[in-house]
């Protein structure tokens, strides 16, 4: 199997056609991150996968183990961005926080914060998408595959919330 | 606003049995996912030692047990959010041995090498640009609010472009070789499951010269910092040490395969051309009660003298030369700093990392013009063996995977020595050096915390088995008296 397409390195985000930028159809990015091999740490990727399966044309969803600086390219290419992560503490089933760009310096490259991604997207591309952090409450983070039942329940509620919000920008979606 | 947080709300003053003042701050109850530094004073109130505690692969080796051996190269990618490809490749090499294959086809080896050098390139780029450049390009003492990648981009606009697009290029190499950017599935025991499409090759060829040029530009920018801060660069968190890395049979740098070489602080060989299967004849892994991490050391030198450093600095100190021309010229320039000996400066990890990035980009270019990558002979089979060991040079240094497999093809034992484990003792010594140089009184000042972080960033330790749920990863620094009573704690969230 060969990759179908490799994008060349370009010096600007790969903007999609302007038609996709109309106010009625904001371009939405769902970026789920976490490790599915660590039980509930996989909540972010699981949410991303469920949204991706909807196939909504103005919604992009992908996942990774953690955020990385090149995510700023995708972030800069969208109007609304949802960072979706597992939460070790806090309210169930989930919590939502609006994000603002903010740079930080960590002691390990194993941590890149969503605010830093937004800051890079803003600083380098002048992009200022609406951004939210969705923390879905998880409970167990050991080396096992699969969500705990309680986390799976939280996931479904979080995904329903996302669908409601995203559906508002999907006039062709039957309610 | 400073990003340093001291959680005064949880301060609980107390007295130790000896009457020493004790301040206990317990801002985090999580048992993993954070770095913890403990500085211990002696009776005279001087720094005796410092320890950097991190959680590593607790439980993961058991997680692998019972898995079918051919599944393991995919499963182990879940170890690390930064280096999944390194674990994928190292496990695949070990499972080649289990599959009875001593030599894979040229196409398979070159596909793996292309993926590996793409991974090392992009991972080192993340370290340098996102993690290290704020300290190095803006200065250690720059205000915390500015000392970050955004501050760097404001001061050096080109750096943001280099950071993002070198990373992106490395990801494209991984996607082109592994079928996808995340969770690639290139390797199977005995070979690979795809070659490189002409379309992907041509796209990458179009960008590689620019990537090499940017890596060279980054090196020149970094050298400007070094030349402006020579004394700091030489002495900060530094000490002579032994080094260990893979090298090719001809002594050249090889990040994918070769024999294991260790040299002492004077550059004299401790061992050389060690086959991965023989690692236990040369290395021993010690467990200490205060740390989750193992302390590997060189068996012949013992616990106290057998520690060593791995990673980019070790890779350059250990090799006799680099096979690609631009990186080799950069290596000679770098080694001249050792005046005929090795380079021991801890901050030189960053310089070495940039040379390493140039080398990776040059190797990628060579491979992109090698027709073997479009070959169709992808897999070799052999007679099953019960055990396999492999070593690879991951971005942070030497990575070892060791597996035993039963007659039902299930893994019965897994032992991993990761780069950060190899650097365990060295990180402790660097933090100790910083504490000795910078601690004054009993205050964990912002400056001290900052310098501790700078020292740790040189090694860029791999943390916490790739679980990164919200709220993780503060750095906690604790100062203890000679009896182990806590004097002060400071947390950077």
Q: What is the pLDDT along chain B (493 residues), one digit of tens a residue?
A: 222 222 222 223 333 333 333 222 222 222 234 678 889 899 888 898 888 876 555 567 777 889 999 999 998 887 776 688 999 999 999 999 999 999 999 999 999 999 999 999 999 998 898 888 888 888 888 887 778 888 888 888 888 888 889 999 998 999 999 987 667 889 999 999 999 999 999 999 999 999 999 999 999 999 999 999 999 999 999 999 999 999 999 999 999 999 999 999 999 999 999 999 999 999 998 877 666 667 899 999 998 999 999 999 999 999 999 999 999 999 999 999 998 999 999 999 999 999 999 999 999 999 999 999 999 999 999 999 999 999 999 999 999 999 999 999 999 999 988 898 899 899 999 999 999 998 888 888 888 888 888 898 899 887 654 344 554 556 788 888 888 888 888 887 6
How far is Cα A175 from Cα A53, in angstroms, rounded to an integer? Answer: 17
In a domain, B80, yes or no: no
| Neighbour-count burial of B263, counting CB atoms closer than 10 A to its CB (0-12 exposed, 13-18 middle, 19+ buried) | buried
The range of the structural domain enclosing residue A116 comes to: 25-167
Q: How far apart are CA B439 and CA B441, in angstroms?
A: 6
Cross-chain Cβ contact B469/A143 below 8 Å: no
Shared domain check, B221 and B108: yes
B148 vs A contacts (CB less than 8 Å):
103-105, 116
B27 located within any domain: yes
Verify whether the Cβ–Cβ distance A86 to B469 is below 8 Å. yes
CATH of the domain at A124: 3.40.50.1450
In a domain, B317, yes or no: yes
Chain A residues with CB inside 8 Å of B396's CB?
none
Q: Does B127 touch chain A (CB under 8 A)?
A: yes
CA distances from A4 to A60, B93, B185, B333, B407 (A): 18, 27, 15, 42, 39
In this structure, what are the phi and psi dihedrals at residue B48, rounded to the nearest 5 degrees?
Answer: -95, -45
Do the domain assignments include residue A108?
yes
Chain B residues close to A114, C-beta within 8 Å: none
**Contact residues, chain A, for B151 at CB < 8 Å:** 103
Q: Is B46 in the same domain as B116?
A: no
Q: Are residues B280 and B303 in the same domain?
A: yes
Looking at the fold, whether B307 and B360 belong to one and the same domain comes out as: no
Query: How far does the CA of residue B233 sit from the closest CA of chain A (Å)?
Result: 19
Interface contact B211-A9, CB threshold 8 A: yes
Substitution target in A102, A107, A132, A136 with the highest count of B β-carbons within 10 Å is: A107
d(CA B218, CA B84): 25
pTM of the model: 0.85
Number of domains in chain A: 1
The verdict on B169 and B276 lying in the same domain is no
Answer yes or no: is A1 within a domain: no
Q: Is B419 on the interface with A (CB under 8 A)?
A: no
Instruction: Please tell me if residue B470 touches chain A, with a CB cutoff of 8 Å.
Output: yes
Interface contacts (A, B; CB < 8 Å): 189
Residue A106 parent element (H or E): none
Question: Contact B164/A120 with Cβ under 8 angstroms?
Answer: yes
Same domain, B210 and B114: yes
Report the residue from B167, B210, B473 with minimal CB separation from A106. B473
Which residue of B74, B76, B81 to mutate against A (max A Cβ within 10 Å)? B81
Interface confidence, given as ipTM, is 0.70
Euclidean distance between CA atoms B463 and B292, whole angstroms: 12
Of A7, A62, A111, which has the smallest distance from its Cβ to B172's Cβ?
Answer: A7
Interchain contact, B469 vs A73, CB within 8 Å: no
Domain contains B394 = no
Match 């190292």 to its residue by tokens.
Answer: B90
Spell out where B361-433 has E strands: 387-394, 397-405, 411-417
Same domain, B251 and B210: no
Pair (B349, B334) in one structural domain: no
Contact B164 A70 (CB under 8 A): yes
The CATH number that applies at residue B143 is 1.10.645.10
**What is the number of domains present in chain B?**
3
Cβ contact B116:B256 at 8 Å: yes
Q: Is residue B333 assigned to a domain?
A: yes
**What residues make up the domain containing B354?**
104-238+345-379
Asked if residue B215 and residue B135 are part of one domain, the reply reads: yes
CA-to-CA dists, residue B448 to A44, A108, B437, angstroms:
36, 17, 9
**B220 and B355 within one domain:** yes
Asked whether residue A60 is domain-assigned, the answer is yes
Please choose, from the candidates B216, B232, B409, the residue with its C-alpha nearest in 3D space to the C-alpha of residue B329: B216
Residues B122 and B230 in one domain: yes
Residue at A3 is within a domain: no
Q: Quick one: closest CA in A to B133, which residue? A: A105
- CA nearest A115 in B: which residue? B150
**Best residue in B144, B427, B467 for a mutation probing chain A (most A CBs within 10 Å):** B467
* B177, B180, B183, B186 alpha-carbon torsion, rounded to 10°: -30
How would you label B314-350 residue by residue, b for 16+ Cβ within 10 Å and e otherwise? bbbbbbeebbbebbbebbeebbebeeeebbbbbbbbb
CA atoms within 13 A on the CB side of A145: 7
Residue B402 included in any domain: no
Same domain, B123 and B143: yes
Residues 170-189 of B with CB under 8 A from A: 171-172, 175-176, 179-180, 182
Are the Cβ atoms of A3 and B466 closer than 8 angstroms?
Answer: no
Inside any domain, residue A134: yes
């Amino acid at each position: 199997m060969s990759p179908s397409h490799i994008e060349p390195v370009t010096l600007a985000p790969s903007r999609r056609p302007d038609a996709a930028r109309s106010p009625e159809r904001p371009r939405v990015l769902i970026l789920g991150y976490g490790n599915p091999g660590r039980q509930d740490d996989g909540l972010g990727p699981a949410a991303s996968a469920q949204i991706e399966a909807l196939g909504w044309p103005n919604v992009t969803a992908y996942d990774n183990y953690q955020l990385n600086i090149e995510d700023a390219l995708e972030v800069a290419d969208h109007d609304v961005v949802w960072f979706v992560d597992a939460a070790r503490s806090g309210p169930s089933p989930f919590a939502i926080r609006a994000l603002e760009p903010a740079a930080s310096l960590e002691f390990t490259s194993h941590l890149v914060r969503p605010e830093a991604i937004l800051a890079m997207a803003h600083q380098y591309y002048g992009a200022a998408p609406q951004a939210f952090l969705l923390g879905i409450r998880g409970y167990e983070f050991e080396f096992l595959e699969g969500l705990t039942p309680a986390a799976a329940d939280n996931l479904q509620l979080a995904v329903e919330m996302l669908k409601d919000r995203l559906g508002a920008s999907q006039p062709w979606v039957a309610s | 606003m400073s990003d340093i947080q001291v959680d005064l709300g949880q301060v609980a003053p107390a007295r130790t049995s000896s009457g020493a003042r004790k301040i206990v701050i317990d801002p985090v109850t999580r048992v993993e996912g954070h770095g913890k530094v403990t500085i211990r004073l002696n009776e005279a109130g001087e720094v005796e030692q410092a320890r950097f505690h991190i959680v590593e692969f607790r439980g993961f080796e058991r997680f692998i047990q019972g898995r079918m051996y051919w599944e393991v190269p995919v499963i182990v990618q879940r170890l690390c959010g930064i280096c999944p490809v390194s674990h994928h490749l190292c496990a695949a090499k070990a499972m080649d041995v289990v599959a009875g294959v001593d030599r894979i086809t040229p196409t398979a080896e070159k596909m793996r090498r292309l993926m590996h050098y793409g991974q090392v390139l992009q991972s080192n780029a993340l370290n340098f640009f996102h993690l290290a450049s704020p300290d190095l390009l803006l200065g250690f003492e720059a205000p915390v609010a500015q000392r970050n990648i955004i501050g760097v981009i404001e001061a050096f606009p080109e750096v943001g472009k280099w950071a993002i697009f070198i990373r992106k290029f490395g990801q494209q190499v991984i996607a082109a070789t592994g079928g996808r950017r995340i969770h690639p599935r290139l390797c199977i025991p005995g070979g690979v499951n795809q070659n490189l499409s002409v379309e992907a090759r041509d796209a990458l060829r179009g960008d590689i010269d620019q990537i090499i040029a940017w890596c060279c530009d980054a090196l020149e920018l970094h050298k400007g910092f070094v030349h402006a801060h020579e004394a700091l660069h030489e002495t900060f968190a530094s000490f002579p040490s032994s080094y260990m890395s893979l090298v090719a049979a001809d002594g050249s740098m090889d990040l994918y395969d070769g024999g294991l070489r260790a040299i002492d602080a004077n550059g004299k060989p401790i061992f050389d051309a060690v086959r991965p299967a023989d690692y236990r004849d040369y290395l021993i892994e010690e467990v200490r009660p205060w740390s989750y991490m193992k302390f590997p050391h060189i068996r012949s030198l013992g616990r106290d003298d057998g520690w060593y450093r791995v990673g980019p600095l070790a890779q350059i100190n250990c090799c006799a030369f680099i096979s690609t021309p631009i990186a080799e010229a950069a290596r000679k320039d770098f080694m001249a700093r050792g005046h005929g000996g090795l380079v021991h400066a801890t901050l030189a990890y960053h310089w070495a990392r940039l040379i390493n990035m140039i080398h990776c980009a040059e190797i990628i270019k060579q491979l992109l013009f090698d027709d073997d990558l479009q070959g169709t002979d992808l897999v070799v089979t052999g007679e099953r063996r019960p055990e396999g060991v492999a070593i690879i040079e991951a971005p942070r240094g030497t990575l070892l995977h060791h597996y035993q497999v039963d007659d039902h093809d299930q893994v019965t034992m897994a032992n991993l020595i990761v780069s950060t484990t190899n650097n365990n003792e060295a990180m402790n010594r660097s933090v100790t050096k910083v504490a000795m140089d910078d601690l004054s009184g009993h205050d964990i000042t912002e400056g001290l915390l900052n310098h501790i972080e700078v020292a740790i960033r040189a090694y860029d330790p791999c943390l916490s088995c790739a679980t990164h749920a919200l709220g993780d990863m503060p750095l906690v620094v604790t100062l203890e008296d000679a009896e182990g009573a806590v004097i002060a704690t400071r947390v950077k969230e």
